[in-house]
């Protein structure tokens, strides 16, 4: 489906923040904002929901801990409880301190890596992915706000010029 969007370019993050607030106050839906660097507070101004990635990370960490405990318990205690240098391989608890470094590292490993993979999946990033960039200047020194057009092109254009945009274009967009 092709839809019409209006793209307003700004060259200052402060101006952009004010523009975002104004456009939202006028009840227009901001489709996307492209910036060359993280703009502090932009997510709040756009009304984006908080990320839940920290919660996934906590769960992945729990999974890593469980994997480490199961693995060490099976290998060192259940499968072949050898006497290695007098370490007490009678039960998991008896030899637990020796497993803590592994438990810790596995927790961190799972929490970190699975969280990063979750981030890639959720934000659709992978090698050879075609870059979604409406204007190359947005990776350098320009900020771009994209607002959907629903037969209100003139009104929107006037509003966006009023927020301090340096350039405005209307394009068809495949989605």
CA–CA distance, 19 with 32 (Å, rounded to integer): 13
- Using CB under 8 A as the binding rule, the residues of this chain from 36 to 65 that contact other proteins are 54, 58
Q: For the segment 106-165, give every residue that binds other proteins (CB under 8 A).
A: none
- Residues whose CB is less than 8 angstroms from the CB of residue 92 and which lie 6 or more positions away in sequence, other chains included: 69, 72, 73, 77, 99
CA angle (174 as vertex; 20, 158 as ends), nearest 5: 35
CB 51 within 8 A of CB 79: no
CB of 88 to other proteins, least distance (A): 10
**Residue among 88 and 162 whose Cβ is closer to other proteins:** 88
| Closer Cβ to other proteins, 58 or 161, answer by number | 58
Position 74 contacts other proteins (CB under 8 A): no
Complex with other proteins: residue 104 or 161, whichever CB lies closer: 104
Q: 171 — phi, psi (to 5°)?
A: -135, 160
- Residues in 77-116 that interact with other proteins by CB under 8 A: 86, 97-98, 100
Min. distance of Cβ 72 from other proteins in angstroms?
A: 15
- Per-residue CA distances from 75 to 80, 107, 121 (Å): 6, 18, 33
Residues that bind other proteins (CB under 8 A): 54, 58, 86, 97-98, 100
């Amino acid at each position: 489906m092709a839809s019409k969007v209006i793209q307003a370019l700004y060259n200052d993050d402060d101006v952009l923040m004010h523009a975002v607030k104004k456009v939202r106050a006028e009840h227009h839906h901001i489709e996307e904002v492209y910036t060359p660097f993280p703009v502090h507070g932009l997510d709040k101004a756009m009304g984006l929901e908080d990320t839940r990635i920290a919660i996934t990370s906590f769960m992945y960490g729990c999974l890593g801990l469980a994997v480490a405990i199961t693995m060490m318990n099976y290998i060192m205690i259940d499968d072949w409880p050898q006497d290695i240098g007098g370490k007490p391989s009678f039960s998991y608890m008896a030899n637990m301190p020796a497993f803590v470094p592994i438990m810790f590292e596995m927790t961190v490993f799972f929490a970190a890596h699975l969280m990063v993979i979750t981030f890639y999946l959720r934000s659709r990033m992978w090698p050879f992915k075609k870059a979604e960039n409406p204007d190359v200047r947005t990776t350098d020194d320009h900020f771009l706000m994209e607002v959907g057009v629903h037969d209100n092109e003139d009104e929107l254009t006037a509003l966006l010029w009023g927020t301090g945009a340096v350039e405005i274009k209307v394009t068809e967009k495949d989605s």
